[in-house]
Amino acid sequence: MREVFTGNFTQQEPIPPEAIDAAVAVMRSGRLHRYNVGPGETGEAALLEQEFAAMTGAKYCLAVASGGYAMGCALRAVGVAPGDRVLTNAFTLAPVPGAIASVGAVPVFVGVTGGLVIDLDDLAAKADQADVLMLSHMRGHIVDMDALMALCAARGLTVIEDCAHTMGGAWAGVPSGRHGRVACYSTQTYKHVNSGEGGFLITDDAEVMARAVILSGSYMLFDRHLAAPGAEVFERVKYDTPNVSGRMDNLRAAILRPQLRNLSDQVAAWNARYRVVEDGLRGTPGLTLIERPEAEGFVGSSIQFLLSGWREARVGEVLRRCAARGVELKWFGGAEPAGFTSRYDSWRYAPSAPMPETDRILRGLVDMRLPLTFDLEDCALIARIVSGEVSVVHQSAE
């Protein structure tokens, strides 16, 4: 009898009871707005910022309305102006070039390697076109950060890290987000902690953080932040920094604080699932796994593999056959975006030229979520289904 998977690839775990209790307490108080606190009170958003800064080892942290807002805010805070060019990955998702475009800047796309990280040779070739790199750790794949930062230091590039897929990850023991000048994270439902929407911005740069806090809509209430620089820094920037409101509220912060305390356990659970699927796919004819570098502390909330050199019809057949057995795969090689698989040539507001090597890799790239609502047996079943269907289609073409 043919095995069929019946799980849901977009179903998340329930919000923990402790987080629900904290959210209810905020609702009972009526003080949802982050600055609406009584005498001697500290709001949930301020506490969350303090805790996230401590977790990452950053001096400063700002909680905001979304990961996309965090990126746009970071770009403004480091001085990116309309018309500026900003380097970023060709392999990323729409919020990254969207954040660049939102401040009136122009994305300059940098190629991807077979390891699904930014191509350092292409970055070196394009480094003179911009002053800022928005580095996307797309799908949790972390480039050699020591090599990247050396290149960027030599070329005078400011690095902003998009860590939407690497919260809880690391490179050579250094938490993801602690290499660049600024890092941005997402707490959207399908990321590593879940508040529906939300995000963080961290930095050790006092003036960048002061600008970010005012940009987010402090209304001069910056003294209510626990993970921000002193008042003297705000005095230097407060009258020439616009308010582009994007604050996180106390309700979402209350939901996130207990989840953040459990993040390391969640990372371990994701990686256990990832390894089961990886082991089940290894050796499948025609399928290439993405080998993870030893220095990379990754978070396996999704898995990618390559069907390199496969024609579109054959890849489509794999997707159809897996879907018929309950396994949802996404493909980055289609002519039209489907299931959030847009790529650099999909965003018509951003100029781009063909990138043959990047195009070759993306044509074979298949992606799959691994929610924690799956157990290890589910993951083993999913791997058997994918491996079996890839093998069938591969053999039929021989």
Each residue's pLDDT tens digit, 316-347: 999 999 999 999 999 998 877 777 777 898 88
Residue type, position 114, single letter: G
Q: What is the token pair recorded at 239?
A: 């009258």
pLDDT at 398: 63
Angle at 74 between CA 218 and CA 224, to 5 degrees: 25
* CB 197 within 8 Å of CB 55: no
Residue 158 φ then ψ, to 5°: -80, 130
* CB 281 within 8 Å of CB 382: no
Q: Smallest Cα–Cα separation from 212: which of 314, 111, 70?
A: 70
pLDDT at 219: 83
pLDDT at 271: 98
pLDDT in tens, 112-125: 999 999 999 999 99
Residue 279 φ then ψ, to 5°: -60, -40
Q: Smallest Cα–Cα separation from 58: which of 261, 265, 228?
A: 228
Q: Does domain 17-261 have CATH number 3.40.640.10?
A: yes
pLDDT higher at 340 or 192: 192
Q: Where are the domains of the chain?
A: 17-261, 263-396
pLDDT at 94: 93
Q: The domain 263-396: what is its CATH number?
A: 3.90.1150.10
Residue type, position 109, single letter: F
Binning pLDDT at 50, 70 and 90, where does residue 241 land?
very high
Look at 110-114, 347-351, 389-393 and tell me which has the smallest mean pLDDT: 347-351
Q: Do domains 17-261 and 263-396 have the same CATH topology?
A: no
Residues 42, 271: Cα–Cα separation, whole Å: 35
Beta strands in the chain (DSSP E): 60-64, 85-89, 106-110, 132-136, 158-162, 170-171, 174-175, 182-186, 199-203, 288-289, 296-297, 302-306, 330-331, 365-369
pLDDT at 16: 97
